[in-house]
Structure 1
Amino acid sequence: MPKQIVLFLLVLLAGQSFAQNYKGEFYQLLKEEDTAAQRQLLQQWQLKNPTDAELYVAYFNYYFQASRQEMVELSDSGNGNASLALTDSAGSQVGFLSDDFDYDSALLQKAFQYIDKGINTYTTRLDMRFGKIYALGQIENYERFTNEIIRAIEMGNKLKSQWTWADNKKLENPERFFLSNIQEYVVQLYDAGDDQIGRMRKIAQTVLRYYPRHVESLSNLAITYGLQGNYDKALESLLRAEKIMPKDAIVLNNIATMYERKGDKSNAIKYFELTAKLGGRETRDAAMEKLKELKN
């Protein structure tokens, strides 16, 4: 995983304000990768203000970064980061060397212990929850990743979406911000492979319990059924989404696709025509291609 992705997490959790001296100093040392100075500063910070919310976040970042161990892998295919092809004396390709990361489990456990203390003490701090979810995604622990997302959704309902961010600042449009990030996590599960379908469905169902008009989750739920060949169940969710957003080209295209897979040619044509009418250029062009196929 590229280093800039980790840096994004660190900046995300740090927030934009470095008004607090310890916090500002710590994140500067984090960028400089001076682990000895980081540790010394954290100890001073803990003595001065042991229950500071930003201290929990700093410790989490410290241990999460420390847990990442760069390694070099030899493989038959060049699918890793910065792959280097290896050849034999005849010039034939025999393998690839690529960079990858592993994680020290003991250091990871410490990272999660600190962020859990922060989450339990400062229940409205969404940056802490999202930081933990991010880390679980990076280590590909998708069961805990999913469970943590569901806990966040349920807590959001209890809090009536009154989330805060770094330095306990209130978020603007917290519900929209929250749901848009949840959608990104579902996409991450989708990209991880078909064995994540059950977890995608669980998240979608949890969102819909509290936000029944959330079109993205209705679509996500439909995708999980569609991937399993249950097109009637998929259409049930998509037709609900259509009632909420009748001119959404993505929803219409998904409806058309499910009807096509089901073998309902007339309804597939109907919805691909609507998609072509309402979609952007790429969506329209793809729908027109489908219509040519179905009408031949």
Structure 2
Amino acid sequence: MKKIFGTLMVILISQLGFSQNYQSEFQKFCETNDTINQLKTLKKWQSENPKDAELFTSYFNYHFMKSRQEVLALTTDQPNGESLVLKDSLNQNAGFIGSQIHYNQTEVKKGLDKIDEGIKLYPNRLDMRFGKIYALGQIPDWTKFTAEILKTIEFSDKNNNEWTWTNNVKQENGKEFFLSSLQDYQVQLYNTGDDELLKNMREIANKVLEFYPNHIESLSNLSITYLLTGEYDKGIEPLLKAEKINPKDYIVLGNIAQGYKLKGDKKKAFEYYEKTAEYGDERAKEYAKQQIAELKQ
């Protein structure tokens, strides 16, 4: 029995060694953008250890990096980042030449298929799930981006946030880390400035609250989706729930005040700006005092 156990240990250590060697080799070729040797490494790695978790993430990275194509484009609107300004005969801006990022959908699909295989084998690997969500946000495909977030929220309840990360290392403070990361995705949707995506934010917030009803950030996110569309009562309602959970959360209090101000309820707005001034940091106190002074006019 001891001999068999010892043999198994040797095999496991040997496989781990192979994984780490291939992983570092692949990373080295990524740094030099050597896609030919990246693929050679992946194929050797697959023949040695086809179910290695890091093999799936590496294949995903390979295909997604390969899908990214940067091209120069002539536009009338100034693009993000550096650009060349074109002038007309009157020295007026006539256009801009800048880089635009496009994604080859065939390569993107190959990458997503690989990470899906990995998630199926290693459902607790949060880096795989977040990697997929990141890619969907870059393309961007906001419908699938949102659907993948919802799916991950549902699974967080099943695995009790017992997440792992690269090399199957346990993610400490799994619940807190998971929920804070979701907030980044909500900000990403908000920063698009596309009002159509408010419904995506609302869907995510509601799904979080289904499993984590006291998550103040999601109550606030839900509120924003209504306040921005002029549905002030619906926007104030989740904020009042958040206030009951933490009566001294000055961000929540300030948002309630703003909601009442937008609604035209000066008395309630005044009340909550006073609470914000009482519990807020210096910046919040100063802002609340300015708002109170305006309401008194």
Using structure 1 for the length normalisation, give the TM-score.
0.92
Deviations 1:123-161 (A, max 9, x none): 100000000000101111100000000000001100011
> Residue 41 of structure 1 aligns with which residue?
41
Partner letter of residue 212 of structure 1?
A: P
Structure of greater Rg: 2
How far does residue 90 in structure 1 lie from its aligned partner after superposition? Answer: 4.2
8 Å contact kept, 2:63–2:108: yes
Q: Which runs of 5+ in 2 are unaligned?
A: 1-17
Distance, in Å, in 2 between the alignment partners of 1:195 and 1:293 is 33
- The answer to whether residue 255 in structure 2 is matched with residue 290 in structure 1 is no
Deviations 1:19-60 (A, max 9, x none): 811001111111110111101111100111111100000000
Distance, in Å, in 2 between the alignment partners of 1:176 and 1:36 is 40
> Residue 278 of structure 2 aligns with which residue?
277
Q: After the TM superposition, which residues 48-87 of structure 1 pair with which residues of structure 2 at under 5 Å, given as runs?
A: 48-87=48-87
- The answer to whether residue 268 in structure 2 is matched with residue 246 in structure 1 is no
Distance, in Å, in 2 between the alignment partners of 1:92 and 1:202 is 45
Partner letter of residue 221 of structure 2?
A: N
> Residue 229 of structure 1 aligns with which residue?
230
Identity %: 49
Distance, in Å, in 2 between the alignment partners of 1:250 and 1:117 is 41
CA RMSD, aligned part only?
Answer: 1.3
8 Å contact kept, 1:60–1:115: yes
Distance, in Å, in 2 between the alignment partners of 1:111 and 1:288 is 52
8 Å contact kept, 1:81–1:100: no
Deviations 1:242-291 (A, max 9, x none): 01111111100000001111111111001111112222222222212111
8 Å contact kept, 2:68–2:102: yes
8 Å contact kept, 2:19–2:45: no
How far does residue 92 in structure 1 lie from its aligned partner after superposition? Answer: 2.6
8 Å contact kept, 2:60–2:111: yes
Partner letter of residue 266 of structure 1?
A: K
Q: After the TM superposition, which residues 116-265 of structure 1 pair with which residues of structure 2 at under 5 Å, given as runs?
A: 116-192=116-192, 193-265=194-266
Partner letter of residue 40 of structure 1?
A: K
Deviations 1:167-195 (A, max 9, x none): 11111100000000001101111111211
Distance, in Å, in 2 between the alignment partners of 1:117 and 1:276 is 52
How far does residue 234 in structure 1 lie from its aligned partner after superposition? Answer: 1.3
Partner letter of residue 180 of structure 2?
A: S
Partner letter of residue 179 of structure 2?
A: L
Distance, in Å, in 1 between the alignment partners of 2:136 and 2:289 is 41
Give SS of 2:119's match. helix
Partner letter of residue 21 of structure 2?
A: N
Partner letter of residue 258 of structure 2?
A: T
Higher relative contact order (CA 8 A, sep 6+): 1
Distance, in Å, in 2 between the alignment partners of 1:270 and 1:229 is 21
> Residue 111 of structure 1 aligns with which residue?
111
How far does residue 73 in structure 1 lie from its aligned partner after superposition? Answer: 1.7
Distance, in Å, in 2 between the alignment partners of 1:191 and 1:67 is 24
> Residue 7 of structure 1 aligns with which residue?
none
Q: Which runs of 5+ in 1 are unaligned?
A: 1-17
Partner letter of residue 214 of structure 1?
A: H
Give SS of 2:113's match. helix
Distance, in Å, in 1 between the alignment partners of 2:95 and 2:123 is 49
Using structure 2 for the length normalisation, give the TM-score.
0.92
How far does residue 91 in structure 1 lie from its aligned partner after superposition? Answer: 2.7
How far does residue 89 in structure 1 lie from its aligned partner after superposition? Answer: 4.2
Query: Is 81-90 or 143-152 further displaced after alignment?
Result: 81-90
Distance, in Å, in 2 between the alignment partners of 1:156 and 1:31 is 34
